[in-house]
Amino acid sequence: MTRPLGVILAGGLATRMGGGDKGLLSLGDRTILDHVIARLAPQVAGMALNANGDSARFAATGLPVLPDPIAGHPGPLVGVLAGLDWAAGQGAQAIVTVAADTPFFPRDLVTCLQGATQDMAAPLALAATPRSEGERTKSMSRSGLVRHPTFGLWPVALRHDLRTALEDGLRKVVLWTEKHEGREVVFDTGDAPFFNVNTPEDLIRAQQMAKAQA
């Protein structure tokens, strides 16, 4: 099975962290982004980073930096589109996206996403986890799963459709994936595999998790 290209989504505004790049915060002796890169690299054929502003701040990663192709910070789908446009130029068929503030995502993310979509002409899937007791989220699916829409497998063949949808005002990831019969792939491994750093308190927890996994 051909490995897809990987795109790290870092285009958010990080308002709950006071702005700036969450991925560049320290986590142990590296940045959060360093952890994400190290975890994604073995799973993909190559990587790029979706981010806006001065790309020089990411120079140490050695990755190409892809700005949003549509202005106004319309959400993670525009980062997906940036990745699909880049992948098309590389002759790739698909990308897998991950978030720059989520350092502990599954090491078999790509394998599981690809395995669940082998029979699809245009493989499209989002990662999901079982809902924990009392958990409420805007990303709940009809089946009661918690979707993680920044972690997905996206076919290059649908990039023009995605661009049109975004230009027409679409912002919700799941509305577009459901339109194209995207699947949910359930990950039920470890403690909060898609835990992300949104607040200073989250960063403290991430430090504890990193120590436990060291």
Task: Give the span between the Cα atoms of 187 and 175, in whole angstroms.
Answer: 21
Q: Give the pLDDT of residue 131.
A: 75
Range of the domain at 175: 5-213
- pLDDT band for position 73 (50/70/90)? confident
Q: How many domains does the chain have?
A: 1
Q: Give the pLDDT of residue 211.
A: 87
Task: Give the span between the Cα atoms of 31 and 101, in whole angstroms.
Answer: 10
Long-range (24+ apart) CB contacts under 8 A made by 129-138 are: 129/186, 129/187, 129/188, 129/193, 129/194, 130/186, 130/188
CATH no. for residue 54? 3.90.550.10
Q: How far is residue 92 from each of residues 28, 42, 109, measured CA to CA in Å?
A: 34, 17, 18
Dihedral of the alpha carbons of 147, 149, 126, 91, in degrees to the nearest 10:
180
Beta pairing class for 125-130 and 145-155: antiparallel
- pLDDT band for position 72 (50/70/90)? confident
Beta-carbon-side half-sphere exposure of residue 99 (alpha carbons within 13 Å): 24
Q: Give the pLDDT of residue 19.
A: 56
Considering the entire predicted model, what is its pTM?
0.91
pLDDT digits (tens, 9 = 90+) for 124-176: 999 999 976 444 555 555 567 899 999 999 999 999 999 999 999 998 999 99
pLDDT digits (tens, 9 = 90+) for 167-203: 999 989 999 999 999 999 999 866 689 999 988 999 9
